[in-house]
A = this chain, B = another copy of it.
Amino acid sequence: MRETLADWRPAIDEAIADLVPRDVDADYLESFFGDPTYEYDSGGIQRALSTPLWDLLDRGGKRWRAVLFLVFVEGFGEDPADYVHYACIPEILHNGTIIVDDVEDGATIRRGERALHHVYGHDIALNAGNAMYFLPLKVLTEDPGDLPAERRLAAYEMLMYELNRTHLGQGMDICWHNERAVRVGVDEYLEMCACKTGCLARIVGRLAAIITGQPDDVEQAVATYAELTAVAFQIGDDILDVEHSLGRAGDFGKEFGNDIREGKKTLLVIHAIEESPPERAERLQAILGADSNTDEEIAEALAIIEDAGSLEYAREFALDLAATAREEIDRLAFDDETTRKLHEFTEFVIEREA
C-alpha cells in the first residue's frame, strides 16, 4: 500500500482518464463504445461528457470512495494496484449522483464553483451525470482482473440492488423536502440516509468483497461498516451546518442556517420537534415550512434546536454509529494496518471542519 491514502489519487485519476479521457477522439470512442454505425461526433461528445466530468473532478474531492475500495482490496490480501480501474466504479457513480442531485435540489455552488448545470446548462449536466451511472460499469465488461463469470454477475446484481435503493432514498428525501410538515421519525430519517448515502458506500465495500471472492458474511460486514460510516457522516454534516450557523448568527450578511432555510428534515430537527415543549415545536415546524425566513427566524429555529439538546443527541448518535462500524471491522480477520485505516475513516465523523 502506498504510504498515505492521498498517494493513490494520481493513479485513480489516471484510471478514470482511461474510462473517460480528457480529450475525446474517434479512436477512444471506437475502442470504448464500439464501432459507430455511421460516424461519431467526437467534438460533441467531448463537450457533452468529458468536459463536464473533468471539470467536476478537477475541483477536488478526496476520491475517498476509490481509496476505501483499495484499502479493502489490500485488506483482502490482493495488490490494490491491480484493481485501480474497479475503484473508479463507486467514484464515478458518486460524482454522477452529485451532478444530478444538484439539478434536483436547485443547488448553485459545488466545491466552491458554480454547480455544473449553471456552467453547462441543465441538459448537458443531467445527461453527463446520468451517463456516469453507466460509464464505469464498462470496467466489469472489460474485466481487467480476468474475474470468474459468477463474480462479474454478482457485481452487476449488487450494483443494481444498491442503485435501486439509492433512488428510494433520494425519493424519500425529495418528498419530505417538498412537504411542509415534519411527518417522519428517526427511523425513517436513518433509512433515507442509509439508502441515499449509505448505498453508494455499501457499493465500495461489497464490490471489493465480490471482486476478490470473499464469503457472504465478510461482504455483509464491510457493507454494514460502510453504510454506518456514511450515515454517521451525514449526521455529522447536519450537525456542522447547525454549529457553523450558531457561530455565525451574529454576523450580518453572512449566510447561515442553510439547512433550515431549505426546510431539511435532519436528525436534529426531528429530535428537536419530538423533545421541545409543544409551542416551541410548532414554532420550529412553522419556520421550516415557511417559503422564506428572516435572519431572526433562523436564529430562533437554531435556538430551539440547541435548547432541545439536539446537538448532543445527534453527536452521540453519530459517534455510536461510528463505533458500531468499527466493531464490524474488528470481527473480521484484517491485518492491523488495514484495521487502523478502516478505523481512521470513521474518526472524522464529527471532528472534521465544515
Contact = CB atoms under 8 A, between A and B. Distances in A.
A105 interface: yes
Contacts of A167: 49, 127, 130-131, 134-135
A206 interface: no
A160 B131 contact: no
A323 interface: no
Of A47, A130, A153, most B-chain CB atoms within 10 Å: A130
Interface string A110-137: 0000000000011110111011011101
Contacts of A33: 161, 164-165, 168
A224 B135 CA distance: 23
Interface stretch (A173-181, A311-319, A341-349): A173-181
Interface string A154-188: 00110011011101101110111110000111111
B40 A191 contact: yes
Count of this chain's copies in the oligomeric assembly:
2
A130 B198 CA distance: 18
Nearest to A188: B41
Interface in A184-217: 184-188, 190-192, 194, 198
A281 interface: no
Contact of A191 (B41, B122, B133): B41
Contacts of A294: none
A172 B45 contact: yes
Q: Do most interface residues of chain A lie in helix, strand or loop, or is the interface mixed?
A: helix
A194 B40 CA distance: 10
Nearest to A175: B44
Nearest to A125: B104
A176 B38 CA distance: 17
Given A134-B163, A160-B137, A39 B187 contact: yes
Contacts of A45: 168, 171-172, 175
Contact of A171 (B44, B141, B163, B164): B44
A165 B161 CA distance: 22
A23 to B, nearest CB: 16
B41 A192 contact: yes
